[in-house]
């Protein structure tokens, strides 16, 4: 739909399509989390009868 408008030249530039102050969804985490650490997983033993 937008590709056709771009080809025709009827689509306004991005600056005119976006609001001056966009809404930002509020959230509790204002800082990024910590990367790294240890991943612990429990796997069944390969010798377990099924």
Say how far residue 35 (Cα) sits from the centre of its chain.
18
Q: What pLDDT sits at residue 17?
A: 86
Q: What is the pLDDT along the chain (50 residues), one digit of tens a residue?
A: 888 888 898 988 888 888 889 888 887 777 777 888 888 888 777 765 66
35-42 — which CB contacts under 8 Å span 24+ positions?
none
What does pTM read for this prediction? 0.34
Q: What pLDDT sits at residue 8?
A: 92
Q: What pLDDT sits at residue 48?
A: 58
Q: What pLDDT sits at residue 25?
A: 82
Separation between Cα atoms, residue 17 and residue 14, nearest integer Å: 5
């Amino acid at each position: 739909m937008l590709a056709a408008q771009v080809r025709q030249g009827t689509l306004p530039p991005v600056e005119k399509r976006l609001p001056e102050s966009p809404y930002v969804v509020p959230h509790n985490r204002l800082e990024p989390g910590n990367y790294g650490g240890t991943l612990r997983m429990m796997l069944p033993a390969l010798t377990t009868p099924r």
